[in-house]
Amino acid sequence: MSNRQTSRRDRANAIRALSMDAVQKANSGHPGAPMGMADIAEVLWNDYLSFNPRNPQWLNRDRFVLSNGHGSMLIYSLLHLSGFDLPMSELQNFRQLHSRTPGHPEYGYTPGVETTTGPLGQGLANAVGMAIAEKTLAAQFNRPEHDIIDHYTYVFAGDGCLMEGISHEVCSLAGTLGLGKLIAFYDDNGISIDGDVDGWFTDDTTKRFESYGWQVLAIDGHDAEQIIKAIEEARADTKRPTLIRCKTVIGFGSPAKAGTAGVHGAPLGPDEVAATRKALGWEYPPFEVPQAILQDWDCREKGFQAETRWKEKLVRYEEAYPDLAMELVRRLKGQLPGHFEEQARELIQQCQQKGEGLATRKASQNMIAAFSEILPELLGGSADLAGSNLTMWKGSVPISEQNDGNYIYYGVREFGMSAIMNGIALHGGFIPFGGTFLIFMEYARNAVRMGALMKQHVINVYTHDSIGQGEDGPTHQPIEQLTNLRTTPNMSVWRPSDAVETAIAWTRALQRNDGPTSLVLSRQGLPHQERSVEQVDLISRGAYVLEDCDGSPELIVIATGSEVSVARDAVKELQGSGVKARLVSMPSADVFDQQDAAYREQVLPNAVRKRLAVEAGAVEYWSRYVGLDGDVIGMTTFGESAPGGVLMKEFGFTAENIVSRAQKLLA
C-alpha cells in the first residue's frame, strides 16, 4: 500500500527468514513451502484477509486454512508479524514441548489457527465445510441491507493435498454447491518429498477443477500484481469457487536448494541459511525483523477497525431484527436453547411410554425430526445412504435446492463428509451430523480422528452396526470398528438397545460440546425394554442395571445394542434356575467410565468376578470390564452372507448360548 515504508518483497522475506530460522533452530521442519508461498501470503494477508489479531474469534472474520500444514512456519510467521498473541519466543520454540508453535498447526494451541492440518487434503476439506457454513448461515440470517454474515474462506494447498483422494471428493461437491466465496491457492511448485512430481502426478489440474465447476486462474506466485489480479477475479465470481494455480519455486531464495526436494522437509543448514540471507538481501540476525517491516505488517489497528464497522452493522441488525440477532448470537456461541433440557426430557418420557419396538436407526430418525424443531442449527446429511441411515426427515431441506436449507447430500464421499463436518463445526453456527454404515467409517477414519483431536461438536450417525446387517456379507459387516471408535481419545460412543436409549444418546450428543459423538445404530428392529423411571434416569450415566437379582449377584452379564434383548432373556432364565444374575446395559462405556467410583462400584461390584460381556463386535475391548476371570461372547472372525437372524444364531448371540457360557463361568 502507498503508506507503507517497505516493499512487498521485504515483507515477504520476513516470512522466509523467520521460517528458515525457526526450522534451523529446531533442526526439524519444512522450510520450502513457507519460503515459496511467502509472496502470495503477503498480498493476501496485507491487502485482502479480514481479521482482527486482538480478537481471533471475531465472528465475521475471513477464514484462512493452511492445508499443506507441514509448512506451519508460514502461518506462525504471519500470525506473529500481523500482531496476534504469538511472540517471537514462541517462534524460537518451534516444534518444542508445550510451545504454541507445534510441528503442524493445531486448533486450540495457537491464536489465529482455524483448524488442525497435517494429513494432506483435509484442510482443503475443512475449508469447504467453512464455506458451506458461511453460505448457509448467511442465507438463514442475512436480510436486505443487512449482510451480517459475509466473509471469505481462503485456503493454501500443495501438490500433496491435490493428490489425496479427499481433494477430489470435497472439491467436486464444492463446485456443485457453487461456493463462490471459497478461494484456494495451489502452490504449484512441482516438488514433493520424493522429488519432481512429474514422475507420479501428471493430472491436468486445470481441466480437473474446471470439470468440478470451479473457476481456474494461473499466475506467477512471486508476482504481486498477478496475485492481486487473480484475487480480484476470484472475488468477482460469486457463483463458483476459485482455484488459483500459483507457479512457485519451493525454498525461494536458497541458492543451492531452491526448486529441489532438499528444501522440502529438512533444515537448510547453517551455511545455506547464510547464503540465503545474502541472496535475499536480508541483513538481519536470526529472529530479528526491522521495525519498519514490523510496522508495515502490523494489522491490529486495521483489524480493530474492521470488527468495529461490523459491530456497527450488528447493532443496526439487532434494531431491525432483534429475535434473529439473539438467535444468531446463541448459535454462534454454541449454546443450546434454555428450554432444551426440559423438552429433551419430555421426548425421552414419550419414548418410554410408547414402548415401541424399532430399529435404533428409525428411533434415531424420530429424534432428529423432534430435535430439528427445537434446534434449527442442526445441519444433517448422509453419504448417499439417507434412505438406509434414516438421517433425512420430513423437515429436511437440501442446501443444494435452497441456500437456507438444513440438509446436505454428500454423495458417496464418507471421508469428505466427515472432514467437511469438521469444517462446519469449526466455523460455528451449526451442529453437523452425517450418516453412513458403520463399516464405512473406515473410509472416513482419519477425518473422524481429526474431529476428536480438535474436540469438535460433530455427530456421526453409524447404522447397520453388526453382522445383523445380514445378506450384504462381511464387506458390509463391522467387527473391529466399535473398538476403534471407543479407543479414540475425546470420542464418545453410544450403542443403544432401543428407542429410549437412542433418545438419550441423541440428547447427550447434542449437549456435549467438547468432542464428537458416534451413534451406533441397528438395521434390524429391536424390542422395547421395560424400565422403571429410575432406570430411565440412569441411562444417561452410560451403564445401568437393567435386570437384577435379590442380594449380591454371583454373575454379571454386560450387553449393548441389539444384544441387550437376548441377554435379558438369558438372565431371566438363569435367575429362574437359581442363579443370582444381573444384567447391565452399557450403551456408552466412555460415559460410564466418567462416573464417580461409587456409582461404578454399584453397577459393577469389584467383588463379582464372574462377568460375561455380550456384543456383536470384536471381543478384545471387553477385557477391561470382564477381567481375567470373565468371558466375552463376541466376534473373532469376519461375518458371513446370510439373513441377519441366521447370522446372530450362527455366531452365538442367542439366549441359549449366553446361558451356556454363563454356566461354564459359574462351574
**Residues recognised as catalytic:** 414
Distance between CA atoms of 369 and 347, rounded to whole angstroms?
A: 11
Q: Give the SS3 label for residue 571.
A: helix
Distance between CA atoms of 306 and 304, rounded to whole angstroms?
A: 5
Q: Give the SS3 label for residue 607.
A: coil
Contact criterion met (CB below 8 Å) for 221 and 188: yes
DSSP letter for each residue of 22-60 = HHHHHT-S--HHHHHHHHHHHHIIIII----TT-TT-TT
Distance between CA atoms of 121 and 34, rounded to whole angstroms?
A: 17
Distance between CA atoms of 280 and 252, rounded to whole angstroms?
A: 9
Beta-carbon count within 10 A of 323 CB: 8
Sign of the alpha-carbon dihedral angle for 402, 403, 406, 412: positive
Between CA 413 and CA 307, with CA 157 as vertex, the angle to 5 degrees is: 100
Q: Which three cell numbers stand for residue 292?
A: 519498519
* H or E element, residue 9: helix 8-26
Kindly calculate the radius of gyration of the chain based on its CA atoms and give it in whole angstroms: 28
Distance between CA atoms of 389 and 362, rounded to whole angstroms?
A: 8
Distance between CA atoms of 116 and 452, rounded to whole angstroms?
A: 11
* H or E element, residue 459: strand 459-463
Return contacts of 660-667, CB within 8 angstroms, 24+ apart: 661/612, 661/631, 661/633, 662/555, 662/557, 662/570, 662/574, 662/579, 662/581, 662/612, 663/574, 664/631, 665/555, 665/610, 665/611, 665/612, 665/630, 665/631, 666/554, 666/555, 666/579, 666/610
Distance between CA atoms of 368 and 378, rounded to whole angstroms?
A: 9
Sign of the alpha-carbon dihedral angle for 101, 105, 110, 111: positive
Q: What is the DSSP letter of 251?
A: T
Q: Which three cell numbers stand for residue 484?
A: 476403534
Displacement of CA 110 from its chain's centroid (Å): 18
Q: Which three cell numbers stand for residue 225?
A: 500484481
**Phi, psi dihedral angles at 13 (to 5 degrees):** -65, -25
Distance between CA atoms of 397 and 374, rounded to whole angstroms?
A: 16
* H or E element, residue 270: helix 270-280
